[in-house]
Amino acid sequence: MPSVEAVTASSSAPSLSLAGLGWSEFFGDQLEPGDADLIPTRIAMVHRDRLSGLSQTGQTDLSLAPQATTGDYAVGDWVLVEPHSHLVRRRLTRKTVLERRVQGGRGPQLAAANVDTLFIVTSCNADFNIARLERYLALANEAGTTPVILLTKADTAEDAEAYQSQAAALQRGLAVVTLNPRISGAASALAAWCGAGQTVALIGSSGVGKSTLVNSLAGSAQQTGAIREHDAKGRHTTTARSLHAIAGGGWVIDTPGMRTLQVSDVAYGIDMLFAEITELAPLCKFRDCTHVHEPGCAVQAALKAGTLDPDRLARWRKLSDENQHNTPVLTGPRGAKSPAGRGKRR
């Protein structure tokens, strides 16, 4: 067993209002008359066998009913807690949820909940990969979070503007920020997404600057609920998912292990990402047009007219096929099959 040492929540933490913790009408609307004595608490740290939360009174170790497991909860979740026992009575429905499907796994793994903005971090070098960025975007769209692309290491690239414009073209209205996480003040470039009560998370390959950025967002004194473990070689590694206060008022969720992802059950996210293709489909002659060979295909017409990028179409096809292949299909009444993603419960 690794020895575990908590990086203690600073006792001088800023006063925590519900709104400051990220509470909003969306959660307030879920309260029922009998909930009055329960304490709304935000899950701050999920460990294999422990759960801790933040409420207006500070940080609390939570206890779970015997049949519940910590795996049912994600960092960022809102739960209602009994005042004395600290027993989690109920989880509120999530506004957004980031999850990943593990190859051959037992179902999706929760990474973070109620994230408003997902910072997709990549660097201006060989890590920059359009098809992979599109995967992240589909995931963010599907989760209900606003994606923002952060480009790091522009200082080591010759044509940083080229990366910026390629990234901006990936989705309509997509914000792209070039920044150096090592320079003090990097966080101010992200202030628009990090205000009081806002929650952000980061995703991206190893080595692109995520930890550096989390540190500069959180500052050193404000770590909340972070847990460090010594691995076999005595190194410190952050293994638990945790919520950190951002100096300016918001929250950043660390999601170790969200580096690689398999696309599944993200049809909505793909539609949003490839809006220029999604919009053409209803104009095709056949409702189930595959946009490959059918007569009266609006997608093929746009391709011929030069208004649709053939590379985008190829990547859309690849991602859609992969999504379809990986998405579990439910067998409905009379053997009718429908994708499992419909009406997802959060």
Ligand X SMILES: Nc1nc2c(ncn2[C@@H]2O[C@H](COP(=O)(O)OP(=O)(O)O)[C@@H](O)[C@H]2O)c(=O)[nH]1
Looking at 8, 57, 129, 156, which residue binds ligand X (CB under 6 A)? 156
Asked whether position 241 contacts ligand X by CB under 6 A, the answer is no
Give me Rg for the CA atoms of the chain: 22
3-state SS assignment for residue 167? helix
Of 203 and 289, nearer to Mg ion (C-beta) is 203
Asked whether position 207 contacts ligand X by CB under 6 A, the answer is yes
Instruction: Using the structure block, give the residue that is written with the tokens 């040492």.
Output: 5
Nearest approach in angstroms of CB 320 to Zn ion is 13
Asked whether position 132 contacts ligand X by CB under 6 A, the answer is no
Asked whether position 238 contacts ligand X by CB under 6 A, the answer is no
Q: Which of 235, 219, 215, 239 is nearest to 227 (CA)?
A: 239
* Structure token pair of residue 108: 């999706």
In the bound state, the residue with its beta carbon closest to Mg ion is 211
Asked whether position 206 contacts ligand X by CB under 6 A, the answer is yes
Q: Which of 117, 170, 163, 123 is nearest to 140 (CA)?
A: 117
Of 187 and 319, nearer to Zn ion (C-beta) is 319
Q: Which of 322, 318, 324, 326 is nearest to 277 (CA)?
A: 318
Nearest approach in angstroms of CB 210 to ligand X is 3
Looking at 201, 208, 247, 289, which residue binds ligand X (CB under 6 A)? 208
d(CA 325, CA 331): 15
Looking at 96, 152, 171, 223, which residue binds ligand X (CB under 6 A)? 152
Directed axis angle between helix 310-326 and helix 130-143, to 10°?
Answer: 50
Inter-CA distances, 324 with 162, 317, 319, 320, Å = 32, 10, 9, 6
d(CA 298, CA 23): 44
Asked whether position 257 contacts ligand X by CB under 6 A, the answer is no
Calculate the dihedral angle through the C-alpha atoms of 206, 209, 213, 219, rounding to the nearest 10 degrees: 90
Site string for Mg ion, 204-223 (x = CB under 5 A): ------xx------------
Looking at 94, 135, 210, 291, which residue binds ligand X (CB under 6 A)? 210
Asked whether position 242 contacts ligand X by CB under 6 A, the answer is no
Nearest approach in angstroms of CB 203 to ligand X is 10
* Cβ-Cβ contacts under 8 Å for 126 (sequence gap 6 or more): none
Nearest approach in angstroms of CB 161 to ligand X is 15
Site string for ligand X, 164-203 (x = CB under 6 A): ----------------xxx---------------------
Site residues for ligand X per CB under 6 A: 152-153, 155-156, 180-182, 204, 206-212
